[in-house]
């Protein structure tokens, strides 16, 4: 697997900035800009929520008509600009227009993203200030850029991977925000991924679609899907490496998958109030889709998440969640194992706590010791077919309630 760095040094042809525009009261960074020196082939995957924020609607439209000429992505925090009607769309377009003027590109070449409270309009004077500051401070500070898209995140989340080929080297790098309102399809998250490799629009879109399905669509913090979820991929070709053959695209896909998996897991690790990182490996289900649905159902269950928090190996909650997932599942043919850490076991390792419709004769103290670890893996062997999916989730703590009980205040 390609090695992921938790930092970003530089990506040829891209400049970034993260600034304080006055959106956040505490003076924290709150507005970001990513700019390419040349036109990019751009791709995007977006929320499947029927309630879509203005920036999602605008970006979807622009990618449909100008996916070969994207130059910039601007992101604001505090206001999601969702459920804001025609004014919200006008403000999203105005943001793009201000960015375009500041950096010397066409408005149609600018994508926008927003995160924050639903139903609030963008404070356009502060947005204008953010555009001005970001445009004047473009450089290579990716960490500041990642920090400037955070809401309830506790830390910036970013990563990169360098790929060496016979024809030259290229980099893929990405930033992501997300901590709560995280569920499959996708999660309350915004992410900008850039590469200085050259891709066609169709190859970029297919690579991103595949990668998101195996990463951002496999994480659960609380089971809620947002109005603003957006992952963008920009390819500018400034490394001089163009990818076209099957082997070249396969190598790119492997590197992109490793990066998006890393970023997605970082979202879970930084989830609101999270104290446990949990891997759910569902194997031998009827199909991959069934395995994914079972894993997502378990991962979103408040009861199972509460048990994770309490270090309680309550296998009954996990099996019950699997049984209501709406897929083929037979408890008499299933088994459930528990192990410390994050490595999936294919059902052959760990402490088996359920099998053949009944609990095993395991020792509760042994299970509790594993559950007390900061990370653990449950392997659910459905015993039906060859379908497999891995979901990454977490516990739910008192702090999650505290954060979301006064989110708008």
188 flagged as catalytic? yes
Query: Residue 139's CB: how many other CB atoms inside 10 A?
Result: 11
- CATH number for position 91: 3.60.70.12
Residue 241 has φ and ψ, to the nearest 5°, of -100, 120
- CATH number for position 359: 3.10.20.340
Chosen domain end from 236, 269, 302: 269
Q: Which residue matches tokens 């070449």?
A: 109
| Beta partners for residue 54, in sequence order | none
Q: Is residue 314 part of a domain?
A: yes
* Token pair listed for 100: 């375009």
Residues 6+ apart with CB under 8 A from 390: 218, 279, 280, 281, 282, 295, 344
* 167 and 62 housed in the same domain: yes
Q: Which residue matches tokens 């139903």?
A: 119
Q: Is residue 6 part of a domain?
A: no
* 228 and 284 housed in the same domain: no
* 127 and 201 housed in the same domain: yes
* 293 and 256 housed in the same domain: no
* 289 and 364 housed in the same domain: yes
Q: Annotated catalytic residue: which of 95, 145, 171, 188?
A: 188
* 225 and 99 housed in the same domain: yes
Chosen domain end from 269, 294, 309: 269
Query: Residue 213's CB: how many other CB atoms inside 10 A?
Result: 17
Provide the residue-wise pLDDT of the chain in tens; the chain has 409 residues: 789 999 999 999 999 999 999 999 999 999 999 999 999 999 999 988 889 999 999 999 999 999 999 999 999 999 999 999 999 999 999 999 999 999 999 999 999 999 988 999 999 999 999 999 999 999 999 999 999 999 888 899 999 999 999 889 999 999 999 755 444 454 458 999 999 999 999 999 999 999 999 999 888 765 556 788 899 999 999 999 999 999 999 999 999 999 999 999 998 888 776 788 999 999 999 999 999 999 999 998 888 888 888 888 999 999 999 999 999 999 999 999 999 998 755 555 799 999 999 999 999 999 999 999 999 999 999 999 999 999 999 887 666 565 555 544 4
* 237 and 373 housed in the same domain: no
Alpha carbon distance 116, 53 (integer Å) = 11
Are 32 and 16 spatial neighbours (Cβ–Cβ below 8 Å)? yes
Number of domains in the chain: 2
Alpha carbon distance 163, 4 (integer Å) = 11
Which domain, by its residues, includes 87? 14-269
Supply the pTM of this predicted model: 0.91
* 53 and 171 housed in the same domain: yes
Given this model, what pLDDT does residue 184 score? 45
**Rg of the chain taking only CA atoms, in angstroms:** 22
**Size of the chain in residues:** 409
CA 80 to chain centre: 17
* 289 and 174 housed in the same domain: no
Residue 247 has φ and ψ, to the nearest 5°, of -65, -40
* 259 and 318 housed in the same domain: no
Q: Which residue matches tokens 């989110």?
A: 407
Are 190 and 75 spatial neighbours (Cβ–Cβ below 8 Å)? yes
Chosen domain end from 239, 269, 299: 269
Q: Is residue 7 part of a domain?
A: no
Q: Is residue 1 part of a domain?
A: no
Whether residue 186 is preceded by a cis peptide bond, meaning omega within 30 degrees of 0, is: yes
Given this model, what pLDDT does residue 226 score? 75
* 256 and 343 housed in the same domain: no
Are 328 and 386 spatial neighbours (Cβ–Cβ below 8 Å)? no
Given this model, what pLDDT does residue 345 score? 56
Give every strand in the sheet of 335-340, ordered side by side. Answer: 358-359, 351-355, 335-340, 375-381, 277-285, 387-394
Q: Is residue 3 part of a domain?
A: no
Q: Is residue 209 part of a domain?
A: yes
Residue 263 has φ and ψ, to the nearest 5°, of -65, -40
Q: Return the exposure string of 22-31: e unless at least 16 CB atoms fall within 10 Å of the residue's CB, then b.
A: bbbeeeebbb
Q: Is residue 91 part of a domain?
A: yes
Q: Return the exposure string of 354-393: e unless at least 16 CB atoms fall within 10 Å of the residue's CB, then b.
A: bbeeeeeebeeeebeebbeeeebbbbbbbbbeebbbbbbb
Are 15 and 37 spatial neighbours (Cβ–Cβ below 8 Å)? yes
Given this model, what pLDDT does residue 1 score? 73
Q: Is residue 165 part of a domain?
A: yes
Given this model, what pLDDT does residue 65 score? 95
User: Which stretches within 153-279 are classed as H helix?
Assistant: 201-213, 246-269
* 232 and 372 housed in the same domain: no
On the CB side of 72, how many CA atoms lie within 13 Å of its CA?
29
Given this model, what pLDDT does residue 219 score? 86
């Amino acid at each position: 697997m390609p090695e992921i760095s938790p930092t970003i040094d530089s990506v040829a042809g891209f400049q970034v900035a993260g600034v304080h525009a006055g959106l956040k009261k505490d003076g924290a960074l709150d507005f970001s800009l990513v700019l390419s020196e040349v036109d990019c082939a751009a791709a995007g995957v977006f929320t499947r929520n029927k309630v879509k924020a203005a920036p999602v609607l605008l970006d979807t439209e622009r990618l449909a008509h100008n996916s070969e000429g994207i130059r910039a992505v601007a992101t604001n925090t505090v206001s999601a600009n969702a459920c804001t009607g025609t004014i919200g769309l006008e403000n999203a377009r105005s943001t793009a227009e201000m960015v375009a003027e500041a950096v010397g590109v066409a408005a149609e070449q600018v994508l926008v993203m927003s995160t924050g409270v639903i139903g609030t309009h963008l404070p356009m004077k502060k947005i204008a200030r953010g555009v001005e500051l970001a445009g004047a401070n473009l450089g290579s500070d990716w960490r500041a850029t990642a920090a400037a898209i955070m809401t309830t995140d506790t830390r910036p989340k970013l990563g990169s991977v360098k790929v060496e080929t016979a024809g030259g080297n290229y980099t893929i790098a990405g930033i992501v925000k997300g901590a709560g309102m995280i569920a499959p399809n996708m999660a309350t998250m915004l992410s900008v991924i850039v590469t200085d490799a050259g891709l066609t629009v169709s190859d970029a879109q297919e690579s991103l679609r595949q990668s998101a399905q195996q990463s951002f669509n496999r994480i659960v913090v609380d089971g809620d899907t947002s109005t603003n979820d957006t992952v963008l991929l920009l390819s500018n070709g400034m490394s001089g490496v163009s990818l076209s053959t099957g082997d070249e695209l396969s190598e790119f896909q492997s590197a992109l998958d490793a990066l998006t998996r890393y970023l997605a897991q970082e979202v879970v690790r930084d989830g609101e109030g999270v104290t446990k990182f949990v891997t759910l490996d569902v194997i031998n289900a009827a199909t991959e889709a069934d395995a994914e649905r079972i894993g997502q159902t378990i991962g979103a269950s408040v009861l199972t998440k509460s048990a994770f928090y309490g270090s309680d190996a309550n296998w009954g909650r996990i099996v019950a969640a699997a049984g209501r997932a709406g897929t083929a599942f037979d408890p008499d043919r299933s088994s459930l194992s528990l192990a410390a850490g994050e490595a999936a076991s294919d059902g052959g390792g760990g402490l088996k706590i359920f099998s053949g419709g009944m609990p095993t004769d395991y020792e509760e103290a042994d299970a509790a010791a594993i559950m007390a670890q900061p990370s653990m893996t449950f392997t659910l062997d459905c015993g039906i077919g060859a379908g497999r999916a891995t979901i990454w989730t977490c516990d739910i703590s008192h702090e999650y309630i505290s954060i979301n009980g006064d989110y708008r205040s």
